[in-house]
Structures are given as C-alpha cells and as structure tokens.
Amino acid sequence: MKRVWHEWHARILAEELCARARFRHTPGVMITRRTPQPEQRSASDPLGAPESSQVKQHARAHFEKWAHSYDRSWLNELVFFPSVRVCQEEITRWQAARGDQPFRMLDVGCGTGSLLALLAGDPRAELLVGLDYAEAMVRRAAEKFSHSERAGRPHAVRGDSERLPFADQTFDVVTCCNSLHHYPHQAQAMGGFRRILRPGGLLVLIDGFRDNVIGWLVFDVGVALVEKHVHHASWSELRGMLHEAGFVDVHQRKKNVLAPLLVNVARRAD
C-alpha cells in the first residue's frame, strides 16, 4: 500500500490561531506561538510538503461527516467506547498511586469527548482539555461538556495532534485513543505528547492491534480500505517510537473488544 503519510506535513496556522483564541481566557493554559517546534522537524518529515495536508484533510472530512452519528454508531458502541473505558481505567490506576493530587489532562483526537465526559465529575481533575482536528467533532464534544458541572467542565479545542498549541509541561496526563493511525507523522506526534507532559506524566495511547491475523485483517485491510491513508503501527514500532520520544516504563498489552486493541502506557522521563 502506498504510504504517503510518511512524507508530509501540514500547515494549519489558521486553525491553531482559532484554537488559541478560544483558549486565551482559560486560566493556567498557555497557548504557544505557532513557530515550528523541534518535534515538527526531522529528515524524513520535511515541513510543508502538500501531501500531508491532503491526508489530514481527508481524515478531517471523514470525521466532519461522521460526527453527528458517531456516538450512536456500532463501531463506537463495540470498539471505540470500550477502549475509552480502558483508558479511563488506566487513569484511575495511575491516580490511585498518586493519592488525591489534582491533575491536568489533554485528550488528543478526542472526537465527541466521551473520555473527558467520563472524567468531568472527578474532583481531582483540575483541567480537562480535548483537542480534535474536525470542527464538527469539537462541537459535539463541547455540547456534551456543556452538561457537566461548571467547576469541572472540560474544554474542547480545534487543533492538530502534530502541532499541539500548548506550552511545555502543561499536562499531567495525555491520552490518545483510536486516533494515532490518522497521523502522517506519528513519531513527531509522540515528541509533542512528551513536550507538553510534565516530567513523570502519564501517556495512555490506544489504537488498533495489527500484530495478529485478526488485527491485520481488521486494521491493515478493512480499516485501511475504508479510511485510506491510515497506518496502524505495530507493537514494536510503537514501542520504539515511545522510547525514541523520551518515554520510560513503557507497558504494552493487547485488549480484545470486538477487535483487538493495543494499549500503551508510558511515563515521561523525569
């Protein structure tokens, strides 16, 4: 399969300016200037190549259309929402070890905001932010969040996972569920996750497990055929990317829901 996602990078300055405008008044969140960050550069990822932008626009168009029915879809019921629950369990386990300390969390590729809505009632959640590339998804998430108690209400923001518009070390937890396979520059995205995490901070990353026959058929054949320009990284590829980006204590496991999922839990090195 043609893996064009390896070669490009998008410029979405306008969208990020929009994200910053929304966020300007959120206490404690600093939106950074969108000059290229170190994580956005690498020999294999030249900035500004147009194909990257096309891939992201393709993913975006797909989710703009899907947003209104996403929560009711069988895929959400049987795959995405169960994986969101797994992510919540990981956060709960991590929290239990930290006692009652408050935490700040970003959910990258948050979709309709299911994960943050589950956490909205947690009194320790000092700041909950969801970021997504598709405007319609962000709107759905914002609607969902508007039902939360004002004190713990999450924020939804439009932005690109590969150019996170937050200051270094803003968050204690970064999550990314069922979204990474859409990113043209996955290693670069990991670098960004690390940058905005505080030392010792938690990363929970869940995506399709494609290292057995069922996973390969579902993700590398089925999903790739329908969604196009996606890449489900293998177990070892993800492990390598996490280490390379500066994560430690990397734990990976397979979790079977309707399809197999790869659950990755890691900490930013101190």
- The footprint of ligand SAM (CB under 6 A) covers 56, 59, 63, 80, 83-84, 109-111, 114, 132-134, 137, 160-162, 177-179, 182-183
- Count Cβ neighbours within 10 Å for each residue of 179-213 and write b for 16 or more, e otherwise: bbbbbbbbbbbbbbbbbbbbeebbbbbbbbbbbee
* Least Å from the CB of residue 133 to ligand SAM: 4
Q: Between 127 and 223, name the residue whose CB sits nearer to ligand SAM.
A: 223
User: Contact at 8 Å (CB) between 110 and 132?
Assistant: yes
| Closer Cβ to ligand SAM, 8 or 80, answer by number | 80
Chain residue whose CB lies nearest ligand SAM: 111
Q: Crossing angle, helix 235-245 and helix 186-196, to 10 degrees?
A: 40
Nearer to ligand SAM, 81 or 247 (CB): 81
The least distance separating ligand SAM from the CB of residue 76, rounded to whole angstroms, comes to: 6
Spatial distance between the Cα atoms of 48 and 37, rounded to a whole number of angstroms = 14
Long-range contacts of 228-232 (CB under 8 A, 24+ apart): 228/58, 229/4, 229/5, 229/55, 229/58, 229/59, 229/182, 229/184, 230/5, 230/59, 230/181, 230/182, 231/3, 231/5, 231/181, 231/186, 232/181, 232/207, 232/208
Q: How far is the CB of 62 from ligand SAM (least distance, A)?
A: 8
Min CB(41)–ligand SAM separation in Å:
17
Dig out the tokens for 263 from the structure: 């659950």
When the beta carbons of 64 and 126 are compared against ligand SAM, the nearer one is 64
The CB-of-152 to ligand SAM minimum distance in angstroms stands at 19
Question: Least distance (Å) from ligand SAM to the CB of residue 237?
Answer: 18
Q: Which CB, 95 or 179, lies closer to ligand SAM?
A: 179
Of residues 85 and 267, the one with the C-beta less far from ligand SAM: 85
Number of H helices, E strands in the chain: 10, 7
